[in-house]
């Protein structure tokens, strides 16, 4: 029996009400998740610098180049193990995470050892933002009002980095983020019009700059 066999619909803990429907489902791209959430490339660079420094120090201490290489290879399994663990965690988190967007809420099911499901009704969403990357993936964050607030630790890694006081749930490293952003934008607009509330707006930003969000003004999606 699989650990998620109890789910009536993959990613959802219960059957949807009659007036609710799924608009989109997706999951993180594991390689991008390992790079940006687990910082595997930074760890790899750090380990490479340490190994290079170790070999250089051995040569400066009188060892031959061959001896320095052997010494460096002798200690290399530890950093390789650390990198391998980070890659494995990235794959596991991506494999166990499902993002579900309905016409009423965002549902995030995630967790390796202890899977949890977080429901984020659209009535809690003030605005949303999207950031795209050159690898074709992107992040879509949701700014919540103060009516309710999920814990940063509970949401991680599906949360905007460093926003501890006001955690922002995030669709992290999803493929084709611009298309997903359009679905999010339409869903928020339809919900806002249906409840006669202010209309959240999604702001799209590409490249390495910081993602931006727009306030709840009735306007179409803006792009760059």
pLDDT digits (tens, 9 = 90+) for 117-172: 999 999 999 999 999 999 999 999 999 987 667 789 889 999 999 998 889 999 99
Q: Is the dihedral of CA 30, 31, 37, 40 positive or negative?
A: positive
Question: What residues have CB less than 8 Å from 84, skipping those under 6 apart?
Answer: none
Q: How far apart are CA 199 and CA 78, in angstroms?
A: 51
Q: Which residues, in sequence order, are bridge partners of residue 98?
A: 109
Across 98-102, 203-207, 213-217, the highest mean pLDDT is recorded for 98-102
Is it the case that residue 219 has pLDDT exceeding 60?
no
The alpha helices in the chain, defined as continuous H runs, are: 30-36, 40-60, 65-75, 77-96, 152-155, 177-195
pLDDT for position 195: 52
- In this prediction, residues 87-111 reach a mean pLDDT of 95
Q: What is the DSSP letter of 18?
A: T
Is it the case that residue 200 has pLDDT exceeding 90?
no
Question: What residues have CB less than 8 Å from 147, skipping those under 6 apart?
Answer: 123, 124
pLDDT for position 197: 44
User: In terms of Cα–Cα distance, which of 203, 167, 197 is closest to 184?
Assistant: 203
Q: Which residue has the higher pLDDT, 104 or 205?
A: 104
CATH tag, 22-27+99-206: 2.30.29
- Which sequence spans correspond to the domains of the chain? 22-27+99-206, 36-91
Q: How many CB atoms are located within 10 Å of the residue 100 CB? A: 21
What is the percentage of the chain residues whose pLDDT exceeds 70?
Answer: 83
Cβ atoms of 163 and 18 closer than 8 Å: no
């Amino acid at each position: 029996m699989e650990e998620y066999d109890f789910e009536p619909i993959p990613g959802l803990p219960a059957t949807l009400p009659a007036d609710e429907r799924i608009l989109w489902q997706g999951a993180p791209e594991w390689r991008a998740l390992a790079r940006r959430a687990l910082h595997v490339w930074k760890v790899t660079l750090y380990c490479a610098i340490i190994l290079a420094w170790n070999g250089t120090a051995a040569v400066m201490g009188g060892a031959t180049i061959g001896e320095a290489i052997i010494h460096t290879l002798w200690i290399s399994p530890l950093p390789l193990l650390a990198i391998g663990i980070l890659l494995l965690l990235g794959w596991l988190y991506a494999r166990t995470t499902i993002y579900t967007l309905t016409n009423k809420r965002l549902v995030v099911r995630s967790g390796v050892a202890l899977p949890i499901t977080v429901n984020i009704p659209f009535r809690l969403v003030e605005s949303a933002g999207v950031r795209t990357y050159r690898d074709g993936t992107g992040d879509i964050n949701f700014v919540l009002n103060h009516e309710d607030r999920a814990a940063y630790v509970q949401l991680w890694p599906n949360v905007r980095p460093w926003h501890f006081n006001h955690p922002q749930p995030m669709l992290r490293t999803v493929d084709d983020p611009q298309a997903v952003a359009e679905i999010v934008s339409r869903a928020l607009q339809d919900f806002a019009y249906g409840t006669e509330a202010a209309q959240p707006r999604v702001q799209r930003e590409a490249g390495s700059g910081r993602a931006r969000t727009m306030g709840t003004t009735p306007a179409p999606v803006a792009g760059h």
